[in-house]
Amino acid sequence: SCGICVEKCPFDAIEIINLPSELEEEPVHRYGDNAFALYGLPTPEPGKVTGILGPNGIGKSTAVHALAGETTPNLGEYEGDSDWEAVLDRYRGTELQNYLEQLIDGEIEVARKPQYVDQIPKQFDGKVRQLLERTDERGELDYLVDELSIRPVLDQAIDSISGGELQRVALAATLARDVDFYFLDEITPYLDISQRMTAAQLIQELSEDGDRSMLVVEHDLAILDLLADTLHITYGEPGAYGVVTDPKSVRNGINEYLSGYLDNENMRIRPESITFEEHAPRAATKGQPLVEYPDLHKSYGEGEFSLDVEAGTIYESEVLGVVGPNGIGKSTLAKMFTGALDPDEGELDTQLDIAYKPQYIEIDQPMRVDAFLSSITDQFGSSYWNTEIAQPLQLERIMEQNLDDLSGGERQRVAIAACLSEDADLYLLDEPSAHLDVEQRVQATSAIRRYTENHDATAMVIDHDIYMIDLLSDRLMVFDGEPADHGTARPAQEMRAGMNDFLADLDITFRRDERTGRPRINKPGSQKDREQKRDGEYYYAN
- Hey, which residues between 462 and 521 contact ligand ADP (CB under 6 A)? 484
Shortest distance (Å) from residue 515 CB to ligand ADP:
26
- List of residues 6+ apart from 527 with CB closer than 8 A: none
Cβ–Cβ under 8 Å, residues 182 and 215: yes
Among 9, 46, 61, 486, binds Mg ion (CB under 5 A): 61
Under rule CB under 6 A, residue 56 binds ligand ADP: yes
Under rule CB under 6 A, residue 50 binds ligand ADP: no
Piece in contact with Mg ion (CB under 5 A), picked from 56-64, 103-111, 167-175, 326-334: 56-64
DSSP letter at 246 equals P
Site string for ligand ADP, 306-325 (x = CB under 6 A): ------------------x-
Piece in contact with ligand ADP (CB under 6 A), picked from 21-29, 80-88, 117-125, 327-335: 327-335
* CA distance to 14, 35, 228, 247, 255, per residue, from 20 (Å): 18, 18, 26, 17, 20
Give per-residue burial for 27-36: e unless 16+ CB within 10 Å, then b: bbbbeeeeeb
Choose from ligand ADP, Mg ion, none: what does 304 bind? Cβ within 5-8 Å by kind: ligand ADP
Piece in contact with Mg ion (CB under 5 A), picked from 21-29, 58-66, 208-216, 240-248: 58-66
Which residue number, 305 or 337, has a Cβ lying nearer to ligand ADP?
Answer: 305
Under rule CB under 6 A, residue 59 binds ligand ADP: yes
Choose from ligand ADP, Mg ion, none: what does 90 bind? Cβ within 5-8 Å by kind: none
Piece in contact with Mg ion (CB under 5 A), picked from 54-62, 189-197, 242-250, 427-435: 54-62
Which residue number, 250 or 328, has a Cβ lying nearer to ligand ADP?
Answer: 328
Shortest distance (Å) from residue 412 CB to ligand ADP:
13
Shortest distance (Å) from residue 361 CB to ligand ADP:
15
- CA–CA gap between residue 157 and residue 159 (Å, rounded): 5
Under rule CB under 6 A, residue 112 binds ligand ADP: no
Give φ, ψ of 69 to 5 degrees: 75, 10
- Hey, which residues between 421 and 450 contact ligand ADP (CB under 6 A)? none
SS3 assignment, position 74: coil
Give φ, ψ of 406 to 5 degrees: -75, 150
Shortest distance (Å) from residue 60 CB to Mg ion:
5
Residue ranges with strand state E in 106-156? 110-113
Under rule CB under 6 A, residue 51 binds ligand ADP: no
- CA–CA gap between residue 269 and residue 18 (Å, rounded): 9
Cβ–Cβ under 8 Å, residues 310 and 501: no
* CA distance to 113, 154, 199, per residue, from 132 (Å): 13, 9, 17
- CA–CA gap between residue 86 and residue 88 (Å, rounded): 5
User: What residue number has its CB nearest to Mg ion?
Assistant: 61
Shortest distance (Å) from residue 440 CB to Mg ion:
14
- Hey, which residues between 82 and 111 contact ligand ADP (CB under 6 A)? none
- CA–CA gap between residue 99 and residue 345 (Å, rounded): 62
Shortest distance (Å) from residue 483 CB to ligand ADP:
7
Q: How many residues bind ligand ADP (CB under 6 A)?
A: 23
Among 20, 22, 36, 233, binds ligand ADP (CB under 6 A): 36
Residue ranges with strand state E in 276-343? 289-293, 296-299, 306-309, 312-315, 319-323
- CA–CA gap between residue 132 and residue 158 (Å, rounded): 11
Binding site for ligand ADP (CB under 6 A): 31, 35-36, 56-62, 239, 300, 304-305, 324, 326-332, 484
The residues that touch Mg ion, with contacts defined as CB under 5 A, are: 60-61
